[in-house]
Structure 1
């Protein structure tokens, strides 16, 4: 009996010691805090951002890697509290969403303490605004691609749930060896209609509607592939450009390594019911390069960019695109007879690319560069906003940086937009989100949340390309699609 009691005492002693070690390892609460009159330097910089109620927790860390522990108290202006403590401010997902719902239209106040070299430092609180405007999106889709010039390496199309951190592949090029996957494009964020292009020996344009069709990669009449798609809101038509793309490398420009340009490009409309490409000489001019089409939300206009073709590669920096539009009749599938110029390259001395109208029809967002259209390689690339009621354009200084802003898309309610930027390191494009009000004023953008943001973005040696909102998860058979892509069967198209 005495031996049993002695053993129990030893086990209890070991258990208490292990418990004490566990508590010390899991929790280090602030004591003897030294207060400073400055904001905390956090990564990502979420200070003062505006967020929707349906966004994942905006976890963050101290920018200083020497900080051992961060302690964060969050209080809502309309009630509620939240606490996080550890090497990352990792907020419980359910508690985070409850706090945001409780404080819709209000603010969250973050009080941060950080432990470094045995000393706790307390910082001035900062706030986030919880918007009244819902995001109205289940998530986003995007392509992840490594920085490369010739080899496709490993790339894929992915979808991400914006309310948490769940990500899953739609298709990756290990399923289709030696193929390049171009980006997934849905119809007004509805993934029931989507298209993406695959380049390579088994190339095809994948169109998903009631069923998935694989179109022949190239049409001899066009002389190129179907790229840069944009759906007509009715769903029958989809606008494309066809491009003969080349690239060259700079030898004496420190901030620009490469220039991507088109030896030729045209814009046309594809009829998904008849497998017909609808073209017109008014937007397929011999000595002009038409590019990056987009339909208006009512389907009555087709926006596109156009530039006079230059002598390549010597005059590459003289290629400057104007923003134009032409009417479109969905009943007859015909284009109008007059092209309107909305932003003239002759007047601005700059180049326009990637026009994207808001779904409420009020604004059109585009990217402006010094020349060309492949904006990810242009550090001067900025977002601009055209008011379609007044015809006035302005730079979106509230979201632009001194590095490339390259691709953007609207939420279905036109209250939010996302874009890619290389502002962090100049090398990798990352996704940012911001809200925009009815006057066209945008809020401070915030980086796409991750559970451990510093570890994720420091270790993620991939760029995010062509992001877009999706109203629900993309639901299709990736295995069967890859199987078809690896086969030979394709639907032929004809040019009209």
Structure 2
């Protein structure tokens, strides 16, 4: 029977013990444990990570089916202590937050005891840093989707409170059969302005602004495709979209599975107040594919990626994107000046995608892979960071793995990132968070905390996709949104 206790050192010492929700006696530290000078093998591996004070408890399990029981003591470097015992380390949420708050800017020291074959062993302590930089966000939004895109099976948009383990659906496609809910984006993590694209028979682009929801017609006759990958202008008056003709194919080799590519793509600027689309020749060229537009935090620059156009799919491995930028006029929605290539991945024989500037304007995070614009299926995909002051870029070796590391976003205070990775098993993308300091140094990332993480991730049959931070919970009337998507009513757009 699992038992949890919490002890906080102060003028008054309170001891609370829970066992399946019932008051019971507290377990005690094993008295006959054999010390071993190695770190415990735990899942997730939280040793040496840096966390915000407002993150959910770092529950973990012992690796190996022979682990019979676990006892854990967590001591704050400043003050406070917690204990947990049972099948896995399961910490009380409120007690955990009292402990992290008391040790902001300090460390948590974990002492782990594991029982195997009837014998207890005490492992070497490990530490977790508690950052003085707050998370500053309520939680995350993301898609949960089966790890294959053959058909639009059950998938949906979800949100998660990062201070605990509460998750809820924003919209699931079982309410809109056959639809793919794609690439949701808020305005600098604020859900007051929120948009996502819907693929399928009921295609369209949903825009929610301060509670008012509109569904735009999926295509405009003057465009090459639908309004797909969005990014809000910080003023909220514009949204940059890519318009894509996206296709997928399947590899015949075991090491490669799915390939997603565009046979055409451009960047356009949408004005929600007038339903007008501003076309800019600079980012809509015939001999290039422009994709993944994003605005700078001051709203004066438009970043995007660009590749020379090739015959697709015959030359799909020749599609290699550079990161570019151009000036932007927030009054007119027009680009200003000439295109500037700020990271030439093509010279490296590589392809750069998913540019995301930090909200303080200092850095730009992107994904580098061998080719194409959809690196989430590329094992070689890694995270890179471009310093926008020095224009120097480097691979983020401190967070990259031997498997796919791709889609990412920044917290509003620019001190935390979230990204997807297949490092656990190569098949499913999971979410990792990491702390970023003012000089662009990134601490060891940690897996999104879950209650009973071994059981959760073992039974999770969906991949996490397109994560972003959210300042507050997304308020979307799912029934009305689904009714609107299923209906034939759409808001038409016009070319300005």
Aligned residue in 1 for 2:222: 221
Q: What does 1:88-237 correspond to in 2, within 5 Å?
A: 88-210=88-210, 211-237=212-238
| 1:233-272 deviation per Cα after TM superposition (whole angstroms, max 9, x unaligned) | 00010001011111222223x3211211111111111111
For residues 464 and 414 of structure 1, the distance between their equivalents in structure 2, rounded to whole angstroms, comes to 22
2:478 matches 1:472: no
* Preserved contact between residue 183 and residue 228 of structure 2 (Cα < 8 Å): no
| Structure 1 partner of 2:296 | 296
Conservation of the 8 A alpha-carbon contact between 2:224 and 2:265: no
After superposition, what is the alpha-carbon deviation per residue over 1:173-199, rounded to whole angstroms, capped at 9, x for unaligned? 011111111132100000000001111
8 Å CA contact 2:250, 2:258 repeated in 1: yes
Q: Distance in 2 between matches of 1:117 and 1:29?
A: 18
**Structure 1 residue 239 corresponds to structure 2 residue 240:** yes
Aligned 1:51-70 pairs, distance under 5 A: 51-70=51-70
Cα–Cα, structure 1 residues 145 and 45, in superposed 2: closer, same or farther, change >3 Å? same
| 1:396 corresponding residue in structure 2 | 396
Equivalent residue number for residue 429 of structure 1: 429
CA displacement 1:297-329 (0-9 Å, x = unmatched): 000000000001112222211110010001110
Structure 2 counterpart of 1:3: none
Between Structure 1 and Structure 2, how many residues are aligned?
A: 475
Asked which structure has the greater CA Rg, the reply is 1
Tell me the distance in 2 between the aligned counterparts of 1:82 and 1:29.
12
Unaligned runs of 5+ in 1: 1-18
**Farther-moved stretch of structure 1 (273-282 vs 126-135):** 273-282
Q: How many Å separate the matches in 1 of 2:469 and 2:72?
A: 31
Please name the residue that 1:415 is paired with.
Answer: 415
> Counterparts of 1:76-91 in structure 2 under 5 Å?
76-91=76-91
Tell me, yes or no, if the aligned pair for 1:27 and 1:86 is still in contact at 8 Å: no
Question: Which digits, 9 at most, give the CA deviation of each residue in 1:213-235, with x for residues without a partner?
Answer: 11011111103111110000000
Quote how far apart the aligned CAs of 1:347 are. 2.4
| 8 Å CA contact 1:320, 1:371 repeated in 2 | yes
Deviation at 1:29, TM superposition (A): 5.1
In structure 2, the residue matched to 1:9 is none
Matches of 1:303 and 1:23 in 2, distance apart? 57
Asked if the contact 1:222–1:495 (Cα under 8 Å) also holds between the matched residues in 2, the reply is no
2: CA distance, partners of 1:453 / 1:275:
45
- Structure 2 length-normalised TM: 0.94
SS of equivalent residue, structure 1 residue 99: helix
Offset, 1:25: 12
Q: Distance in 2 between matches of 1:86 and 1:225?
A: 52
Structure 1 residues 313, 26: closer, same or farther in 2, change over 3 A? farther
Q: Could you report, residue by residue, the CA deviation over 1:112-154 in whole angstroms, capped at 9, with x for unpaired residues?
A: 0001110101100000000000000000000000122221111
Question: 1:346: Cα distance to partner?
Answer: 3.5
Conservation of the 8 A alpha-carbon contact between 2:321 and 2:346: no
1: distance between equivalents of 2:148 and 2:348? 32
The 3 A distance-change label for structure 1 pair 493 and 24 is closer
- For 1:376 and 1:427, locate their aligned partners in 2 and report how far apart those are by CA, in whole Å: 11
User: What stretches of structure 2 of length at least 5 have no aligned partner?
Assistant: 1-18
Give the CA RMSD over aligned residues.
1.6
Poorly superposed stretches of 4+, deviation over 6 Å: 22-26
1:283 alignment counterpart: 283
Give the Å deviation of 1:31: 3.7
Q: CA–CA distance in 2 between the matches of 1:102 and 1:28?
A: 24
Match of 2:351 in 1: 351
